[in-house]
Amino acid sequence: MSIFESLGVPLLTVAVTPDGGWLVTTRVTDHWDQIRKNRDTDQTAAGEFQRLYGEFVAVWKTWNALTSGHTPVSSSEHPGWGCLERATAAEGAIEALLANLAAERVLTGAEVDVLGGVRQAFKAVRRAIQRGEPLDWRSSEIQPYVAFKSLASAVSVLLGTATRTRRRPSAAMAAHTFREITHNRHEVTWIETARGISPRSRQS
């Protein structure tokens, strides 16, 4: 074996290793950058959801304090008009958050139901305002209130949990998922969906 032949493999290794090392390093860096980006996105979404939950409760309490009699809010002269504006703004922000989740994550059927349920729960205070009635969740055992808290907790856990896959949905899949989240069936199933995630329900 000539000296050139004996040195061929080591020289090839030296020649290839820098490029190979660069490729591996780049892939690892890209991977961790994506994980960091996903985590930052999730944290932002979780913070926004918690803010909207707090806004819901604030509007609910403000509206119930303002309510005297049963006068529907029909004009900006009504003292509850500001509550109505805040409630509709919160609903709009929830809708935008859900659209973003549908575009960012591959969601299971159960997760779609939870998101669709919490969307319906957020409508409760606006509907009460439009009827001119207080939101009658005076007890922590009132079923819609229990359902709202269960769904809100489930959404918070979802937003705080890393995605099972780095694969993002296609545009068609995201559109389908968002249609399912906003489907009218959740109007009648959201409380039942919440019962399905309740510890008490799982034990019974």
Give the distance from CA 123 to its chain's centroid.
16
What is the per-residue pLDDT for 153? 95
What is the per-residue pLDDT for 33? 56
CA distance between the termini of the chain:
78
Q: Show the 3-state SS of 59-122.
A: HHHHHHHHCCCCCCCCCCCCCCHHHHHHHHHHHHHHHHHHHHHHHHCCCCHHHHHHHHHHHHHC
Amino acid letter for position 9:
V
Per-residue pLDDT of the chain (204 residues; tens, 9 = 90+): 544 444 444 444 444 455 555 555 666 565 555 556 666 677 788 889 889 999 999 999 888 888 755 556 666 666 788 899 999 999 999 999 999 999 999 999 999 999 999 999 999 999 999 888 899 998 989 999 999 999 999 999 999 887 766 678 999 999 999 999 999 999 999 999 999 986 654 443
What is the per-residue pLDDT for 38? 61
Give the distance from CA 5 to its chain's centroid.
62
CA dist 5 and 62 (Å) reads: 85
pTM: 0.74
Residue 37: strand, helix, or coil = helix
Q: How many CA atoms lie within 13 A of 165 on its CB side?
A: 7
Q: How many CA atoms lie within 13 A of 183 on its CB side?
A: 15
What is the per-residue pLDDT for 7? 43
186 and 116 in contact (C-beta within 8 Å)? yes
